[in-house]
Amino acid sequence: MNDEKILEALETSHPRRGTLQRLVLLIGLLATAPSAAAAQAAQACAAGAISEITFDRQKPFLPEATSEEASLGWLFRGMNSIHVPTKEQTIRWELLFREGDCFDAVLLQESERKLRSLPYIAEAQVRSDQLADGSHRVGVTTLDGWALTLALVLEVQAGDFQITGFSATAKNLLGTGTAVGYFRSTFRERQRIGGLVRQPNLFGTRIDGTFHAGSTRTENYYSESLFLPFTGEVGANAFRQVAHGRDDYFAYSVEPSLGFTQALVRYEAEEYEGTFERRFGDQAGLRFLAGLGVSREVVRFPFGAAGVQIVQDNDFGQPLPAPSEVATELSPQIRDHATNRVNFTIGVRDLRFGTRLGLDALAAVQDIQLGTDFTLTVAPGFPFGDDNVSDVLTRFKGRTGLAAGDLYLVVDGDFQARHVFSDEDGGPLDWRDVLWELTGIGYWSFSETSTLLSRIQYTSGSKMDRPFQLTLGGREAVRSYNDDAYPAARRFLATLEQRIPFPGLSTSFADLGLAGFVDVGKMWAGDVPYGADSDWEAGVGVGLRIGLPAGGQNVLRMDFSLPMTGQREEKGVGFRLYTELFGLLDRRAWPTQTERSRWYGVDPDLTERPVNPLAGN
């Protein structure tokens, strides 16, 4: 329906209709306008129009896994029989084209990438055929991930066996993309026991609505968000609204010689944000970004001396009162803060996406970024009511991706600093909370069956007014050492890992591979509690990698590692079972050591839905 017909309908509407009725009529007429306009535009499409869209929605286990001849075929036939495939309409919501639209190969590529990023889709392909009349038939093929999942996280370190996580989730309820789940996650001081509801296409839109809540080790927490990400590289608008609240612990690692293993400080936090961003420019080339947001963050330490405790023998469930000298050591980083901010973001983006086979995902196609993306956020803070600080927070994020033959390199940078102008509580002024992280990851796929991964990372925090500490051990650092090894303020890490898939050993329902790795790192004390310089520390290990289902991006790894240096109590063989972390795939269930200490509400990245909404809470 063209503009003249819309105006004619309004003019001929009944004269007794009120303003509200006329508004409803206008909305209804405008709702039909895009499809009519698309039909008219189809007549003038230079590359032809899309005349038909077909869907091939495959269940998680393919015929080679469910046949009568396949081992355990009876099991996978049974699992497929109770699996509800993703509904056609659920997939349509993610497509950037409709029947009648002009054919655009870029929109097909972006739609395929969006489908592949969904947590309930293991693999996706979008292909087209040009018909005799010049129009195009587009075929959309999707392989569902298994919708009903039970996840168990295990760790064995120095003979200590722990189950650190359990969850039961329906991540594609009745084929609608809705996730409903129960989780019980314990990671050192962090504990989350609760439930989650997530709908990535709220009310038939592209808005991702998520709510989860439950208990921590101390009290309760909640998290609510509405997120409309940019629709791939063609989207112009995005927004994010969030509200978080929690009562929780922050743990500091200490030298075992002190007679306890960790120091705990209890805090309360509230975080609220609303951000809108818009892109300008050519969607196939250089684009600019501008954003505006408001946020509020409150971090309080209201429990006094009773809120500072110690942990013996890693028993976070039974903390003990801390000696007075522990509170004195932590005091520079346990200052109350409450600030309202207006966030201004600008950015430039000149990139495209390619695909590679089996970088982190064994036998699955993986999307890689090529080009650059930089954003700068400036967020002045304004005291209000009992708020005590006037400041300006600055955050810069950037990524560059480069591919040349069998090589792929991606470099990430994230810098944050806060300039304090006044603090009614007498806190320090000038530059504070200087936190930055630079990471380079390289892949060399020198054969069809082998990839060499290298990673270099430098992280630093200084003049921190909120809890902050880095350690050298853990799943994302030197894996041979435990998570408390060598606390400090600055860290250098290097990793070299040989990844070898074994298609001959893979089954019809799972991909298998091996990895051998070397991790090296060093710490510098800086100005954090219990910080100390370390020597160069190293560890070696081997890992088994399992991709479930076959051809999908979900990768589970089991690592056995051995420290090669150091005189600490971490000596011994370590075993960890977790999802793939050392690369571009991000399946974390907890924030990193830098993320947990960043100021909230100034993250400019509105490009992708989070794979795991629990990771940042």
Asked whether the CA dihedral 194, 199, 203, 208 is positive or negative, the reply is positive
- Write out pLDDT tens, residues 18-46: 444 444 444 444 434 444 444 444 456 88
- Write out pLDDT tens, residues 206-226: 899 999 999 999 999 999 999
In the predicted model, is pLDDT for residue 15 greater than 70? Answer: no
Amino acid at residue number 364: A
Taking the domains of the chain in order of start, what are their residue ranges? 1-44, 46-146, 148-597
Tokens found for residue 31: 């709702």
When mean pLDDT is compared across 46-55, 92-101, 354-363, the lowest value belongs to: 354-363
> Percent of the chain beyond pLDDT 70?
85
Cα–Cα distance for residue pair 560/116, rounded to 1 Å: 31
Q: Which residues contact 23 (CB under 8 A, 6 or more apart)?
A: none
Cα–Cα distance for residue pair 418/435, rounded to 1 Å: 9
Place of tokens 């023998």: 313
Higher per-residue pLDDT: 390 or 468: 468
Q: Please state the φ and ψ torsions of residue 238, each to the nearest 5 degrees.
A: -155, 150
Higher per-residue pLDDT: 446 or 340: 340
- Write out pLDDT tens, residues 128-163: 999 999 999 999 999 998 887 776 666 555 556 666
Q: What is the model's pLDDT at position 53? A: 95
β-strand pairing of 136-144 with 50-58: parallel
Tokens found for residue 376: 């700068």
In the predicted model, is pLDDT for residue 534 greater than 60? Answer: yes
Cα–Cα distance for residue pair 320/310, rounded to 1 Å: 5
Q: What is the model's pLDDT at position 13? A: 44
CB 185 within 8 A of CB 167: yes
Tokens found for residue 140: 């959309």
Cα–Cα distance for residue pair 406/452, rounded to 1 Å: 11
In the predicted model, is pLDDT for residue 388 greater than 90? Answer: no
Higher per-residue pLDDT: 422 or 404: 404
Compute the chain's Rg from CA coordinates.
26
- Indicate the average pLDDT of the chain: 84
**The CATH number of domain 148-597 is 2.40.160.50:** yes
Cα–Cα distance for residue pair 178/164, rounded to 1 Å: 26
Strands (E) located in 34-80: 50-58
In the predicted model, is pLDDT for residue 521 greater than 80? Answer: yes
Amino acid at residue number 479: R
Peptide bond into 549 cis (omega under 30): yes
Q: What is the model's pLDDT at position 589? A: 66
Q: What is the model's pLDDT at position 429? A: 80
Q: What is the model's pLDDT at position 232? A: 78
Q: What is the model's pLDDT at position 427? A: 73
Listed ranges 70-74, 211-215, 281-285, 562-566; the one with the highest mean pLDDT: 211-215
Tokens found for residue 573: 């063989």
Q: What is the model's pLDDT at position 600? A: 75
Label each residue of 469-519 as H, E or C: CECCECCCCECCCCCCCCCECEEEEEEEEEEEECCCCCCCCCEEEEEEEEE
Angle of the 19-42 helix axis to the 3-11 helix axis, nearest 10: 160
- Cβ count near 131 (within 10 Å): 12
* pLDDT band per the 50, 70, 90 thresholds, residue 282: confident
CB 568 within 8 A of CB 256: yes
Place of tokens 């655009």: 104
β-strand pairing of 208-215 with 190-199: antiparallel
Longest CA–CA separation in the chain, Å:
88
Provide the terminal-to-terminal Cα distance of the chain, rounded to the nearest Å. 47
* pLDDT band per the 50, 70, 90 thresholds, residue 16: very low
- Using DSSP's 3-state secondary structure scheme, residue 596 falls into helix
The second-level CATH assignment, the architecture, of 46-146 is Roll (3.10)
Q: What is the model's pLDDT at position 603? A: 86
Cα–Cα distance for residue pair 548/587, rounded to 1 Å: 14
In the predicted model, what is the mean pLDDT of residues 502-522? Answer: 84
Label each residue of 44-81 as H, E or C: CCCCCEEEEEEEEEECCCCHHHHCCCCCCHHHHHHHHH
Listed ranges 321-330, 346-355, 588-597; the one with the highest mean pLDDT: 321-330
* pLDDT band per the 50, 70, 90 thresholds, residue 12: very low
Q: What is the model's pLDDT at position 10? A: 41
- Cβ count near 92 (within 10 Å): 15
Helices (H), 87-242: 88-92, 105-117
When mean pLDDT is compared across 153-162, 200-209, 277-286, 418-427, the lowest value belongs to: 153-162
* pLDDT band per the 50, 70, 90 thresholds, residue 165: low
CB 297 within 8 A of CB 338: yes
In the predicted model, is pLDDT for residue 239 greater than 70? Answer: yes
Cα–Cα distance for residue pair 106/90, rounded to 1 Å: 21
In the predicted model, is pLDDT for residue 14 greater than 60? Answer: no
In the predicted model, is pLDDT for residue 118 greater than 50? Answer: yes
- Write out pLDDT tens, residues 91-106: 998 899 999 999 999 8
Q: What is the model's pLDDT at position 491? A: 98
In the predicted model, is pLDDT for residue 431 greater than 70? Answer: yes
Q: Please state the φ and ψ torsions of residue 88, each to the nearest 5 degrees.
A: -60, -40
Tokens found for residue 196: 């989650």
In the predicted model, what is the mean pLDDT of residues 47-73? Answer: 88
In the predicted model, what is the mean pLDDT of residues 564-570? Answer: 70
Q: What is the model's pLDDT at position 363? A: 78
Cα–Cα distance for residue pair 486/537, rounded to 1 Å: 10
In the predicted model, what is the mean pLDDT of residues 365-376? Answer: 90
The alpha carbon of residue 560 and the mean position of all alpha carbons in its chain are separated, in whole angstroms, by 26
Closest CA to 469 of 118, 477, 193: 477
Q: What is the model's pLDDT at position 153? A: 63
Q: What is the model's pLDDT at position 38? A: 42
The alpha carbon of residue 356 and the mean position of all alpha carbons in its chain are separated, in whole angstroms, by 20
